[in-house]
Chains A and B, each alone.
Chain A
Amino acid sequence: MPANQPATRTRLSERAPAPGTLEAMKRLWTPAWIVRHVAMVVLVVGFLGLGWWQLSRAAGGNPISWGYAVEWPVFAGFVVFVWWREVRQELRGPEAPGPAAETTESSATVEPTRLAVRRPVRVSRTAATVPDSNDPELTAYNRYLRWLTDNPGARPGDYPG
């Protein structure tokens, strides 16, 4: 771990064990997770088997099977991708940490990416600072610009109107 890690990093690691350790692996060995692992293996083996079957059909003179022979392995790969993402999300930390651990500091460290894609929720009502001109179009545009500055993470398409 680099030396410039913030202090909140250690607090995070108290709740979420470091990836690769036995403690972290135990979290992936609950009944719910075993079901997911088994489902992943079954689906991947099944999809690859179907792909192999289509490949043999294609080799046997059914040209339309070439497409299916490509599609099934892609679906198998997608299953692995979703499984891997879930595993990483599980190892990153609990979804709902305890109320004592829920400080503004740590939540800002734990889920910056989640916050980045969320819509801005609470905004102070600062319409009074927008000077009302006689042109309603200009006023609306000023409000729009004000909204954009109030919501730095927002995209123009998120403007509620």
Chain B
Amino acid sequence: MGAALTRYRVIAWIVGVVLILLMVIGMPLKYGFDYPLVVETVGQAHGFLYMVYLVAAFDLSRRAGWPLSRMILVMLAGTVPFVSFFAERRVSGWVTGQATTPEPVANTPVH
């Protein structure tokens, strides 16, 4: 679970940054200054990175046993600029919150 969460967080962060690059830098350059190169390259990259994000989100929700609605919510959250970072924090909270509650307490010395 911890590794799946890490994978999800890494790709969520990358996709979030690339999406902001696309929206904040690429779009104004293309439509304001007629310079479409950034949109063309970063847009392509974002599409394929988002595939990785979908797989990671799917893997995480499968391991966490989330219902379909939450899985779709997490997947869609990756498409909203800036909001994706808050979503990633929320998802991490869900996972670590449920993981720490039944934390195994093996081999704590019993006095």
Contact = CB atoms under 8 A, between A and B. Distances in A.
Contacts of A64: 40, 43-44
B106 A74 contact: no
Given A78-B54, A119-B99, A151 B104 contact: yes
Interface string A102-127: 00000000000010010111110111
B73 interface: no
A151 B44 contact: no
Given A71-B47, A74-B51, A119 B106 contact: no
Given A68-B47, A158-B2, A82 B58 contact: yes
Contact of A146 (B54, B102, B107): B107
Interface in B7-51: 40, 43-44, 47-48, 51
A87 to B, nearest CB: 11
A126 B107 contact: yes
Interface in A113-161: 114, 117, 119-123, 125-128, 130, 143, 146-147, 150-151, 157-158, 160
Contacts, number: 70
Contacts of B108: 125, 127
B42 to A, nearest CB: 11
Interface of A: 36, 64, 67-68, 71, 74-75, 78, 82, 86, 114, 117, 119-123, 125-128, 130, 143, 146-147, 150-151, 157-158, 160
B105 A123 contact: yes
Given A82-B58, A119-B1, A127 B107 contact: yes
Contacts of B71: 82
B107 A147 contact: yes
The interface residues of chain A, by DSSP majority, are classed as: helix
Which of B40, B47, B107 lies at the interface centre, i.e. has the most chain A CB atoms within 10 A of its CB? B107
Nearest to A143: B107
B2 A157 contact: yes
A128 B110 CA distance: 7
A146 B102 CA distance: 19
B104 A123 contact: yes
B97 to A, nearest CB: 13
Given A75-B51, A157-B3, A150 B102 contact: no
A82 B74 CA distance: 14
Which 5 pairs from chain A and chain B are nearest by CB? Answer: A123-B106, A71-B47, A67-B44, A121-B102, A127-B107
A150 B106 contact: yes
B107 A125 contact: yes
